[in-house]
């Protein structure tokens, strides 16, 4: 999913090493529905804010931002989440917490790698 978000490829064009594109798409849809991406974003923002890496000053003029003509047909509610029992919900919450921890670590590693690459001298061929 992170590869697709980073590159912007279509779901059907995901490299085979990530598995069937339909599986990845369905997982992304479920995670969007149950708020996992928002939890991950909040956690990463909190860590970056605590490290002083975020400048919260922004000026946005909405009069200069136009919506795409297809935006009128967008879905208004997220897809329904999968329901389960309370014991299953506790297990699922634990799995989500572990997954969020792992995804946050992946994001931190990518940022460290990008920082190292930015600090290295350019190579000529």
CB 40 within 8 A of CB 85: no
Find all residues with CB under 8 Å of 79, minimum gap 6, and list them. 29, 30, 32, 33
- Specify the higher pLDDT residue, 17 or 85: 17
Range with the lowest mean pLDDT among 43-52, 80-89, 92-101?
80-89
The CA distance from 99 to 93, in Å, is: 10
Residue 117: which pLDDT band, with cuts at 50, 70 and 90? confident
Q: Is the pLDDT score of 122 beyond 70?
A: no
């Amino acid at each position: 999913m992170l590869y697709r978000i980073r590159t912007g490829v279509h779901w059907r064009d995901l490299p085979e090493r990530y598995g069937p594109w339909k599986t990845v798409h369905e997982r992304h849809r479920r995670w969007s529905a149950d708020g996992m991406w928002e939890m991950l974003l909040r956690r990463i923002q909190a860590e970056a804010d605590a490290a002083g890496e975020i400048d919260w000053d922004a000026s946005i003029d909405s009069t200069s931002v136009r919506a795409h003509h297809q935006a009128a047909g967008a879905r208004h509610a997220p897809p329904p989440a999968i329901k389960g029992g309370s014991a299953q919900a506790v297990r699922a919450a634990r799995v989500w917490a572990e997954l969020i921890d792992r995804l946050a670590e992946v994001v931190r590693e990518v940022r460290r790698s990008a920082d190292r690459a930015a600090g290295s001298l350019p190579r000529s061929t």
